[in-house]
């Protein structure tokens, strides 16, 4: 693997490109790095992905009325951004965006495939295509010369639609041979979140997957660093909405960051860290509103301070699973229970077992949870407890536990030397 020392990967999320003003702020941020070798990864604008999800559903349900209305809404939103940004209406960007919408419209006219997830990826991926077309054109007009490239030419996945699994070898080869030489000459703007299967169908990498895309590119390039530009100062030791006296963490180790993301801190997508860690690529989380500020550095940090960090996952449901035939909950029952969870795609956030019961905490994600409960009930006696919160405190002390759990009922608790996790209500 040849290291490309100079290349930086920047990721701008939906909030950083949510309207014309936000996009022009992105240009101001990039102005500071004009001379650098830059790969700029951008996600869909604002809440576009949510709107496209609704569009995919309407298309699949053949609900023409909803389909037309949502399509029109998405189109208007992007046209407004373009008008707010680009000076000359003769700019070919207008035609470009127009053509993309016509392409999407044609897709929406064809009958849906049976596989919803396949349809989803073909439609929802447009959000990133629209946004990057607009951002790239605006940057060129603003004087930041760049080339738009299609991330699907580089990010190779299997055909697990909505959750594409990356083919790392193939992806790295494509990035090394086809992207790196271009980046050494000019800034490239590309999409987060999307990839391509071996059959050349568009895939997506899972919601909020643009951070992950940035990490995949950085891994393939052997980049110097990744910067995720956010509307917050950096990674905080708690969600400021829930913990008003939360403070910014200056430095964080990869492993601390993985745990935080995994247990529900939404500031970084959980899959982002490991590819970076494996190649020792530092990750910065910085504010696009204050680009000169240091933000948070995630690395093999040895100077990380171990202050209590609070991570809260809301809307949890607790399943207590007990046998009906007086059998103990040991290997055979556990393996059956795990396979039922896996077959419903429900990820277990926390679990605990005793001789006669098994308790798990999962995200309460609608219908799939009902189906899971139905299937478990065939074999086991099930009790559930809804509207719970999974609270993780890393580097806890008594005061931290006291502060976060005061007045709450504790339904389940687990501690290790550095981390305590409680399901509370």
Residue 208 vs 389, nearer CB to ligand ASP: 208
Is 234 a binding residue for ligand ASP by CB under 6 A? The answer is: no
Q: What are phi and psi of 188, to 5 degrees?
A: -120, 135
Smallest separation, CB 297 to ligand ASP (Å): 21
Residue 49 vs 196, nearer CB to ligand ASP: 49
Quote the crossing angle between the two packed helices 126-142 and 48-60, to the nearest 10°. Answer: 140
Selection from Mg ion, ligand ASP, none that 192 binds (CB < 5 to 8 A by kind) is ligand ASP
CA distances from 323 to 89, 182, 300, 339 (A): 69, 60, 45, 16
Is 14 a binding residue for ligand ASP by CB under 6 A? The answer is: yes
- 298 neighbors 235 (Cβ within 8 angstroms): yes
Of 7, 14, 281, 304, the one binding Mg ion by CB under 5 A = 14
**Considering only CA atoms, which of 172, 280, 187 is closest in space to residue 221?**
172
Selection from ligand ASP, Mg ion, none that 209 binds (CB < 5 to 8 A by kind) is ligand ASP
Residue 120 half-sphere exposure toward CB, CA atoms < 13 A: 20
Only segment of 42-50, 108-116, 174-182, 273-281 that touches ligand ASP (CB under 6 A): 42-50
CA distance 176 to 190: 15
Residue 13 vs 195, nearer CB to ligand ASP: 13
Rounded to the nearest angstrom, the gap between the alpha carbon of residue 190 and the centroid of all alpha carbons in its chain is 16
Quote the crossing angle between the two packed helices 126-142 and 64-85, to the nearest 10°. Answer: 10
Residue 126 vs 243, nearer CB to ligand ASP: 126
* Closest CB to ligand ASP: residue number: 210
Residue 49 vs 119, nearer CB to ligand ASP: 49
Is 210 a binding residue for ligand ASP by CB under 6 A? The answer is: yes
Of 43, 253, 287, 320, the one binding Mg ion by CB under 5 A = 43
Is 49 a binding residue for ligand ASP by CB under 6 A? The answer is: yes
In DSSP notation, 277-338 reads: HHTT--EEEEETTSTTS--EEEES-SS-----EEEEEEEEEEEEEEESSS--SSHHHHHHHH
Smallest separation, CB 131 to Mg ion (Å): 10
> DSSP character for 164?
P
CB atoms within 10 A of CB 100: 17
Selection from Mg ion, ligand ASP, none that 207 binds (CB < 5 to 8 A by kind) is ligand ASP
Only segment of 24-32, 204-212, 250-258, 356-364 that touches ligand ASP (CB under 6 A): 204-212
357-363 vs 419-424, strand pairing mode:
unpaired
Q: Which positions lie near Mg ion, rule CB under 5 A?
A: 14, 43
Q: Which positions lie near ligand ASP, rule CB under 6 A?
A: 13-14, 43-44, 49, 127, 192-193, 207-210
């Amino acid at each position: 693997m040849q290291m490309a020392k100079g290349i930086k990967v920047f990721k701008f999320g939906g909030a950083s490109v949510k309207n014309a003003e936000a996009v022009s702020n992105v240009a101001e941020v990039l102005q500071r790095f004009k001379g650098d070798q830059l790969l700029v990864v951008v996600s869909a604008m604002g809440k576009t992905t949510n709107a496209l999800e609704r569009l995919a559903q309407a298309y699949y349900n053949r609900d023409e009325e909803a389909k037309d209305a949502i399509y029109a809404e998405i189109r208007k939103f992007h046209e407004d951004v373009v008008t707010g940004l680009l000076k000359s209406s003769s700019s070919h960007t207008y035609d470009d965006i127009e053509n993309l919408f016509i392409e999407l419209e044609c897709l929406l006219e064809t009958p849906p495939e049976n596989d919803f997830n396949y349809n989803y990826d073909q439609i929802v991926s447009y959000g990133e295509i629209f946004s990057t077309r607009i951002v790239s054109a605006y940057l060129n007009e603003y004087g930041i010369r760049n080339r738009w490239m299609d991330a699907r030419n580089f990010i190779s996945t299997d055909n697990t639609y909505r959750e594409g699994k990356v083919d790392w070898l193939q992806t790295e080869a494509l990035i090394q041979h086809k992207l790196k030489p271009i980046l050494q000459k000019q800034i490239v703007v590309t999409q987060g979140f999307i990839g391509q299967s071996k059959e050349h169908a568009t895939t997506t990498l899972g919601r909020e997957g643009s951070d992950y895309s940035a990490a995949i590119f950085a891994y393939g390039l052997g980049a110097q660093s990744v910067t995720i530009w956010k509307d917050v100062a950096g990674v905080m030791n708690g969600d400021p909405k829930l913990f008003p006296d939360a403070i910014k963490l200056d430095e964080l180790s990869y492993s601390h960051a993985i745990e935080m993301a995994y247990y529900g801190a939404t500031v970084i997508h959980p899959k982002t860290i490991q590819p970076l860690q494996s190649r020792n690529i530092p990750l910065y989380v910085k504010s696009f509103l204050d680009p000169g500020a240091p933000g948070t550095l995630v690395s093999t940090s040895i100077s990380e301070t171990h202050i209590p960090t609070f991570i809260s996952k809301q809307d949890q449901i607790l399943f207590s699973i007990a046998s009906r035939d007086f059998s103990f909950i040991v290997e055979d029952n556990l393996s059956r229970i795990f396979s039922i969870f896996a077959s419903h795609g429900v990820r277990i956030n926390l679990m605990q077992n005793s001789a006669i019961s098994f308790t798990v905490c999962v995200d309460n994600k609608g219908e799939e949870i009902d189906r899971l409960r139905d299937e478990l009930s065939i074999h086991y006696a099930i009790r559930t407890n809804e509207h719970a919160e999974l609270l993780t405190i890393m580097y806890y002390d008594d005061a931290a536990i006291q502060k976060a759990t005061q007045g709450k009922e504790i339904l389940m608790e687990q501690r290790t030397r550095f981390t305590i996790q409680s399901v509370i209500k």
